[in-house]
Structure 1
């Protein structure tokens, strides 16, 4: 049986199960009453891991939560089609299928073979975490022309193999591999 966690012990970034769904605690605030006999209350700001909805709820300090059956596995990106995106679990070598709502705009940064983290709840994939940096090949960019640095702008637009456009320094040419921050989608350097 899963361990029970008191509401007062729930801290930021902890995972708990509430109403048969996994939640991640974003904030925890404990309010202790000044009157005798008053109950200690815990206000939790939590994100539902399945729907991504965020809500605030107040619990008694003695309320109990189950520990969710969450697991994070490494997987490599294989391909995407009309039915979803497919990943290869690096431990069990099974193919995991994630639908478009779970993957979201992460496809803009995924190329074949990239290792990501997949979150599973009760054995089913519910989300993914991209690495901090990915390497992408520049497929199109205008050649840098001497003197284009007027006005302080020393970057130009470049299209990468996944189809997104990023800003790169003037010296980057077509065919070069660049590193891109997955969170901000900004140029991080040559690969």
Structure 2
């Protein structure tokens, strides 16, 4: 158990029987007349839905310890995602809705780190930023267009908005959480 004022980003909490990962947290300390509160944005690990919650500072919450293991991503079908332990060859299924936001960043056969709860994967531990190659994009606008953006299709099929100087073959850094362009890493 922990007190709401001690909740930190990345922790997993059990609320109403479901597991939630804390995405962001803000602690508002009280004043002489107002009591303090904790506001947290959490993601349900079963359904993938994001919710905003608020608790008084001294609310007791149940934190859940998870085990981090390396698994291999096999495939995703319309209902579930299949992962395999590379040493024991044990296969795990996770509801697709829970991992939907990660799927564009996964390649069949690639290794991923997963968080296990009671021996079952409940979430993936991907880096916050992923390098991807630009497969195609428009030519861009000539002249003074430093602040305009254009669409680019990446190697994984995602479409992101990029600056005008990005060309096909460039490797860019993409934010996993938002799916947005961060910076160009190198040019092919």
Q: TM-score range by the shorter chain?
A: 0.5 to 0.7
SS at match of 1:150: coil
Q: Displacement of 1:186 after TM fit?
A: 0.6
CA gap of 1:155–1:12, structure 2 versus 1, over 3 A, is closer
Query: What is the alpha-carbon distance in structure 1 between the residues aligned to residue 13 and residue 125 of structure 2?
Result: 19
Q: Which residue of 2 aligns with 1:137?
A: 133
Aligned length: 176
SS in 1 for 2:81: strand
User: Cα gap change, 1:154/1:163 in structure 2, threshold over 3 Å: closer, same or farther?
Assistant: same
Q: Distance in 1 between matches of 2:36 and 2:183?
A: 41
Q: Look at both structures and tell me which one has the larger radius of gyration over its CA atoms.
A: 1
> Where in structure 2 are there 5+ consecutive unaligned residues?
none
Distance in 2 (CA, whole Å) between partners of 1:126 and 1:165 is 27
Q: Please list, as runs of the form range in 1=range in 2, the aligned pairs for 1:174-185 lying within 5 A after superposition.
A: 175-184=169-178, 185=180
**For the Cα contact (< 8 Å) 1:133–1:182, is it kept in 2?**
yes
1:163 aligned residue: 157
Q: Is the 8 A contact 2:138 2:152 kept in 1?
A: yes
Distance 1:142 1:92, change over 3 A: same
How far has the Cα of 1:111 moved from its partner? 3.0
Q: 1:186: which partner in 2? A: 181
1:99 aligns with 2:91: no
How far is 1:153 from its partner? Answer: 4.0
TM-score, normalised to structure 2's length?
A: 0.63
Provide the C-alpha distance between the structure 1 equivalents of 2:16 and 2:147, rounded to a whole number of angstroms: 52
Alpha-carbon separation, structure 1, partners of 2:173 and 2:63:
38
Is 1:172 aligned to 2:182, yes or no? no
RMSD: 4.0
1:138-188 per-position Cα deviation (integer Å, ceiling 9, x unaligned) = 2222345xx713343465321113222121543522x45433222342142
- Written as runs of structure 1 = structure 2, the 5 A alignment for 1:1-191 is 5=1, 7=3, 10-13=6-9, 14-17=11-14, 20-23=17-20, 26=25, 47=42, 49-50=45-46, 53-58=51-56, 68-89=64-85, 92-143=88-139, 148-153=142-147, 155-166=149-160, 167-173=162-168, 175-184=169-178, 185-190=180-185
Unaligned runs of 5+ in 1: 32-40
TM-score, normalised to structure 1, is 0.62
